[in-house]
Copies of this chain bind each other. A is one copy, B any other.
Amino acid sequence: MKRTKIIDVLKSTEYGKDICVKGWVRTHRSSKAVDFIALNDGSTIKNVQIVVDPTKFDEEQLKQITTGSCICAEGTLVESQGAGQSSEIQATHLEVYGLCGNDYPMQKKGQSFEVMRKNAHMRLRTNTFGAVMRIRHNMAMAIHTYFHEHGFFYFHTPLITASDCEGAGNMFQVTTKNLYDLKKDENGKIIYDDDFFGEQTSLTVSGQLEGELGATALGAIYTFGPTFRAENSNTPRHLAEFWMVEPEVAFIDQEELMDLEEDFIKYCVRWALDNCKDDLQFLNQMIDKTLIERLEGVLKDTFVRLPYTEGIKILQEAIKNGKKFEFPCNWGDDLASEHERYLVEEHFKKPVIMTDYPRAFKSFYMKQNQDTADGGSVGYKGAVAPGPTMQGTDVLFPQIGEIIGGSVREESYDKLMGEIERRQMDKTHLWWYIDTRRWGTCPHAGFGLGFERLILFVTGMQNIRDVIPFPRTPKSAEF
């Protein structure tokens, strides 16, 4: 008999019909009169209840059907008598595909996330991780659908790279060299001409620079793929391998970039609320009681658009009124998470897009604001800053802090080269990037979204290792 997915069984009201379901046993309760098997097949967080008349089945076979075992059940669809359940199945035939012994690590309820991480290959069969993974899928689908509908092209930038986007360190080296026999020159320097690519290569930390090549040809592109940081950070916020979304658009300015950021992220959150109801309700109940409220909150409000210089004033005003921060926040300081969260959660009580950051802590490729005669600069809507600023536009979210990092890109060849030289950057591996400003340069802008940060926000999970199937962290590349 053709199998029906449990998500469809639970929607069906064709009572009396014979159906077949297959899945993993969540629980099996036995009594003399009747057995209840709760079956899940991953298509939904909900189980279907299989009602078994034990007198009609082999006792030994029924005993085998324990938590975690995999079975096929045929029977009649009936209206459920239990509260809150719609349909259930009166079993006529049961087949065991896979037994499951007592040593099954996901057998007990309420295991710690730490134990589950050690069993990441089996935690996918739990309610929580099933919900998280279905939401993760849905967020990816939201991203592709949003960009497709808005005329962006999915653009695959390379992961193995000989250049370094952000200018500095913490990269994984990629090599086919025999480490037991490293060729060196007369100064003892390792020679890479016999490495696979004929030069030293690493795993990319961002596809943005290549993405700009796409945008300045196809008009609007986005990347969505794995990205790497070899940071030795053992925190609930860091992964060595994570997924990034990086749209890049020709012919938009700072205001339009902020429109895009806000529209995009609201679209994703709305998608979750519309398409992941059951999973969100489960997470709202089990993980974070304010989850759905927080998601709905993001949709309700228009994001605040706030020049950095104004943000500093608000923070200093707060300090004057007695607010204590761990880190200083004078003009020119990079904001700490506590500052961002104060602005978002306490001062404005809504998401903030912060603009026009000091040049000192932003990247070389960002568009430079107009300098003034006294060493200041003029930015968004004519706001004046006391020092040089760049058109960065980051989105700050409740709980998460920075969820999007964006900027208008410097399109002027002379200004870009000036900045590269001022920072004494190595130009050798950037010739192709610089070329975009040499021939037919155009205004353009883009942003990066850490996909796992979005999943944290949308699921209410606390540890980034629990929103990706198999996390890569220091000392851990298992599975």
* Docked-complex contact B160 and A130, CB < 8 angstroms: no
Cross-chain contact B219 with A442 (CB below 8 angstroms) = no
Q: CB distance A175 to B172 under 8 Å? A: yes
B154–A140 contact, CB under 8 A? yes
Tally of contact residues, A, Cβ under 8 A: 103
Residues of B within 8 A of A100 (CB): 439-440
Q: How far is the CB of A8 from chain B (nearest CB, A)?
A: 9
Interface locus among A51-59, A195-203, A291-299, A309-317: A195-203
Q: By the criterion CB–CB under 8 Å, are A411 and B97 in contact?
A: yes
Q: Least Cβ distance of A427 to chain B in Å?
A: 14
Among A7, A41, A100, A474, which residue has the most Cβ atoms of chain B within 10 A?
A: A41
A5 touches B (CB below 8 Å):
yes
Q: A321-329, A357-365, A374-382, A465-473: which one contacts chain B?
A: A465-473
Min CB–CB distance A173 → chain B (angstroms):
5
A400 within 8 A of partner (CB): no
Q: Are B159 and A159 in contact (CB under 8 A)?
A: yes
Q: How far is the CA of A97 from the CA of B210 in the complex (A)?
A: 21
Distance, CA A469 to CA B201, complexed state (A): 18
**C-alpha spacing A418/B349, complex, angstroms:** 61
Q: Is the C-beta of A15 less than 8 angstroms from some C-beta in chain B? A: no
Interface residue A383 (Cβ < 8 Å from any Cβ of B): no
Other-chain contact of A441, B70, B162, B251 (Cβ < 8 Å):
B70
**In the complex, A134→B152 CA distance in Å?**
9
A337 to B189, CA, bound (A): 44
Known A157-B469, A469-B210: A478·B41 in contact at CB below 8 Å: no
**Which residue on chain B has the smallest CB distance to residue A199?**
B477
Q: Is the beta-carbon distance between A156 and B440 smaller than 8 angstroms?
A: no
Contact (Cβ within 8 A) A439 B478: no
Residues of the B chain whose Cβ atoms lie less than 8 Å from the Cβ of A424: none
In the complex, whether A141 has a CB less than 8 A from a CB of chain B is yes
B162 touches A477 (CB 8 A): yes
Q: Is A397 an interface residue (CB 8 A)?
A: no
Chain B residues near A99: list those with CB within 8 A: 440
Instruction: List which A127-163 residues lie within 8 A (CB) of chain B.
Output: 129-130, 133-134, 136-137, 140-141, 144, 148, 151, 153-162
User: What are the 9 A-B residue pairs with the smallest beta carbon separation, nearest first?
Assistant: A98-B441, A124-B217, A42-B219, A42-B218, A197-B477, A137-B153, A121-B432, A70-B440, A198-B475
